[in-house]
Amino acid sequence: MHVTFTTSAYPPLALGFFGLGTGYLIWGIQETFGWPPRGEAVDRALGTWAIWMPGFCQFVTGMILAVGLTWFEVFREPPLYMASLAFSAYGIHWFALGWDRYRGNDPRVNVGFSLSFMVLGALGALVFFAAHSWPVGVLFVGLFLVYATKFVTFAGVPALERLMGAFRLLTAVWCMYLTFAVVVDFSLGYTWPS
């Protein structure tokens, strides 16, 4: 017996965009403006937010997309495969970043992950620009820039943390636009680029 599910027109993209955008707003403000100043209590707060907003929201989004694409086949658009990979991987990485910040662990060991996430950013940009979804392609360019500056920061140039924070803030604003566009398109039938 084979059960067939109806194709869904509602992938959970807004949840992933909103979670990432919120995390980037929180971390980006601290990195760019130094507010609030770093300290044990601020690091714990940043770690908590990282785990629960960008971490959990993106991971849930990625898992729903993965299961919907592979097990239930309710999503059929091929670029959602890239979205599933990205939301899952970025969500998991936020769990690790949040935990490390919360615990006060040495961030220099993360230099290798910044390289792999630069690759993921480049791959996402390639897929979404090729799929004519330029707004999501722009998001992946922002992600690439965040991890390129993160790499240099981890490699011993801490002055670039402000630049990384600025890239996070710009990407956060774009994520909030994407959240808004996806929701009004799906909910109200608008056709905002998303």
Does the residue 6 lie in any domain? no
Residue 154 sits in a domain whose CATH number is 1.25.40
Per-residue pLDDT at 155: 72
Q: How many residues does the chain have?
A: 194
Identify the pLDDT of residue 81. Answer: 98
Residue 5 lies in a domain: no
Question: Is 8 a domain residue?
Answer: no
Residue 23 counted as domain residue: yes
- Read off the pLDDT band of 3 (50, 70, 90): confident
Query: Domain limits at 82?
Result: 13-188
Number of domains in the chain: 1
The reply to whether 173 falls in a domain is yes
Residue 183 pLDDT class (50, 70, 90 cuts): very high
**What pTM does this model have?**
0.95
Identify the pLDDT of residue 79.
98
The label of the residue with tokens 């969500």 reads 91
Find, among 13, 122, 134, the residue nearest to 68 by Cα: 13
Q: What is the pLDDT of residue 154?
A: 78
Instruction: Give the tens place of pLDDT for each residue, 99-123.
Output: 999 999 998 888 888 999 999 999 9
User: What pLDDT is recorded for position 1?
Assistant: 67
Report if residue 87 sits inside a domain.
Answer: yes
In a domain, 133, yes or no: yes
- Tell me the per-residue pLDDT of 149-171, one tens digit each, with 9 for 90 and over: 999 887 777 778 899 999 999 99
- The first and second tokens of residue 78, run together, are 């091929």
Candidates 2, 19, 25; CA nearest to 170 is: 25
Give the pLDDT confidence of 118-149 residue by residue, as tens digits.
999 999 999 999 999 999 999 999 999 999 99
Average pLDDT of the segment spanning 1-17:
91
Residue 90 contacts residue 46 (beta carbons within 8 Å)? no
From the list 48, 185, 56, the residue with the least C-alpha distance to 103 is 48
Give the pLDDT of residue 109. 84
Q: What does the pLDDT read at residue 192?
A: 94
Q: What does the mean pLDDT of the chain come to?
A: 95
Query: What secondary structure letter does DSSP report for 12?
Result: S
Residue 194 in domain: no
Instruction: Write out the two tokens for 93.
Output: 């990485």
The tokens 């194709």 sit on which residue? Answer: 7
Whole-number percent of the chain with pLDDT over 90: 89
